[in-house]
Amino acid sequence: MDTKETVLAILNDLTGEDFSANLDENLFDSGLLDSMDTVQLLLELQSQLGVDVPVSEFDRSQWDTPAKIIAKASATV
């Protein structure tokens, strides 16, 4: 699985939604992710892709869409 597929699978597990056709949906504004989901997202990104983002350094505006998450994850893999 590549980074994009892995991120989409993680988001699907967390939200029950398939974002493959809508990579620009704001996950926080739409209520699909909250602070607890964010922690789980970061843990899964670290576990599955080796992406290490401390919660204290997490800027929601840089991680609020599937496209941004994929780009961030790809940049650190």
Residue-wise pLDDT tens digits, 14-63: 999 999 999 999 999 999 999 899 999 999 999 999 999 887 888 999 99
pTM over 0.85: yes
Report the pLDDT averaged over residues 1-23: 96
Cα 18 to Cα 8, 52, 75, distances in angstroms: 7, 24, 23
Amino acid sitting at position 22 = N
pLDDT of residue 19: 97
pLDDT of residue 22: 95
pLDDT of residue 18: 97
